Copies of this chain bind each other. A is one copy, B any other.
Amino acid sequence: MKNIFRLENIVHRYSERTVLDISKLEIAEGEVVALVGPNGSGKSTLLRILAFLEKPTEGTVFYNGKLVKEPSFTQRREVTLLLQNSPLLRRTVEENVSYGLKMRKDTHNIKERVKRALEMVGLSPEIFAKRKWFELSGGEAQRVALAARLILRPKVILLDEPTASVDSESARIIKEAVFKARDEWGSTLVIVTHDLPWVYQITEKILSLFKGKLINYVPENVLAGDWKPYNDGLLALRLADGQILIGAGSPQSGSLALLDPKDVIICTEMPEEDSALNSILGTITSMSLISESGQVLVKVNAGGKTISSLVTEKSVKNLHLHPGLKVYLHFKASALKWI
Interface residues of A (CB under 8 A from B): 14-15, 37-41, 43-44, 84-85, 135-140, 143, 160-161, 164-172, 194, 196-197, 222, 224, 283-289, 294, 296, 306, 313, 316-317, 320-325
In angstroms, how far is the closest chain B Cβ from the Cβ of A51? Answer: 16
Per the bound structure, the CA–CA distance linking A201 and B18 in Å amounts to 38
Interface pair A39/B289, CB less than 8 Å apart: no
Top 8 closest A-B pairs, CB basis? A39-B139, A289-B323, A286-B288, A38-B167, A313-B324, A84-B138, A316-B322, A40-B137
Given contacts A138-B85, A165-B194, A194-B168, contact A39 B324 (CB under 8 A): no
Question: Which one of A169, A224, A320 has the highest number of Cβ atoms from chain B below 10 Å of its Cβ?
Answer: A169
Contact B194 A294 (CB under 8 A): no
A129 to chain B, nearest CB (A): 15
CA distance A41 to B170 in the complex (A): 13
Nearest CB in chain B: distance from A307 CB, A: 12
Contact status A39-B137, CB under 8 Å: yes
Across-interface contacts of A37 in B (CB, < 8 A) = 167
Q: How many copies does the complex hold?
A: 2
CB contacts (< 8 Å) of A15 on chain B: these are 135
**Given contacts A38-B169, A194-B166, A289-B285, are A296 and B323 in contact (CB under 8 A)?**
yes
Residue pairs across A and B with Cβ atoms less than 8 A apart, 9 shown, are A38-B167, A39-B143, A40-B140, A41-B137, A43-B137, A138-B160, A167-B194, A316-B324, A320-B322
Shortest CB–CB separation between residue A47 and chain B, in angstroms? 11
Per the bound structure, the CA–CA distance linking A136 and B43 in Å amounts to: 12
CA distance A197 to B285 in the complex (A): 10
Look across to chain B and name the residue whose beta carbon is closest to the beta carbon of A137: B40
User: Which of A15, A160, A170, A324 has the most chain B CB atoms closer than 10 A to its own CB?
Assistant: A324
Chain B nearest Cβ from A98, distance in angstroms: 22
| 20 extra A-B contacts, CB within 8 A, seeds A168-B194, A286-B288 | A15-B135, A38-B169, A39-B140, A39-B166, A39-B167, A40-B139, A84-B138, A85-B138, A85-B165, A164-B164, A165-B194, A168-B306, A171-B194, A285-B289, A287-B288, A287-B322, A296-B323, A313-B322, A317-B325, A320-B320
- Cβ-defined partner of A196 (8 Å) among B135, B168, B313: B168
Given contacts A39-B167, A138-B161, contact A287 B323 (CB under 8 A): yes
CB-defined contacts of A296 to chain B, threshold 8 Å: 322-324
Residues of B within 8 A of A171 (CB): 194
Contacts of A44 in B (CB 8 A): 137-138
- Report the minimum CB–CB distance from A308 to chain B (whole Å): 10
CA distance A171 to B306 in the complex (A): 12
Name which residue of chain B comes closest to A171, CB basis: B194
What's the minimum C-beta distance from A81 to chain B, rounded to whole angstroms?
14
Q: Return the chain B residue nearest A312 by Cβ.
A: B324
Return the contact of A323 from the options B39, B285, B313 (Cβ within 8 A).
B313
Flag if B322 contacts A322 (CB, 8 Å): yes
